[in-house]
Amino acid sequence: MIYLCRIALTKLDILDTLPEIKVGVAYKVDGQPLPSFPANMDVLTRVSVDYKTLPGWCCSTETARSFEELPPQAQNYIGFIEDFLQVPVKWVGVGKSRESMIKLF
């Protein structure tokens, strides 16, 4: 059986005021990459995180109701998430109400 994954990216509006957004892209212990987030507390205390820094958009996304209405930097952030995870974003939440969920496809 094949399961298709899609991402629901919620709370995008929480990032509206940030001049830059740091996205964790890798975990390392003693300089060695980890395949996943560590569950062991002894290992976790030694973890360092590699970040990719993306430009923020510093404006409200709460009234956007389509992908095209989002600021270009927010569109690029969504594209980065899709490319990095290799999973498409289907929904983007930009506020508290049901109407604040943008369906991308």
Task: Find, among 87, 55, 90, the residue nearest to 74 by Cα.
Answer: 55
Task: Flag whether 94 is marked binding.
Answer: yes
The long-range contacts involving 62-66, CB below 8 angstroms and separated by at least 24 positions, are 62/13, 62/16, 62/94, 62/95, 62/100, 64/94, 64/102, 65/99, 65/102, 66/102
Task: Flag whether 70 is marked binding.
Answer: no
H or E stretch covering 36: none
Task: Flag whether 29 is marked binding.
Answer: no
Task: Flag whether 12 is marked binding.
Answer: yes
Task: Flag whether 13 is marked binding.
Answer: yes
What are the binding residues for GTP? Answer: 11-13, 93-95
Residues making up the binding site: 11-13, 93-95
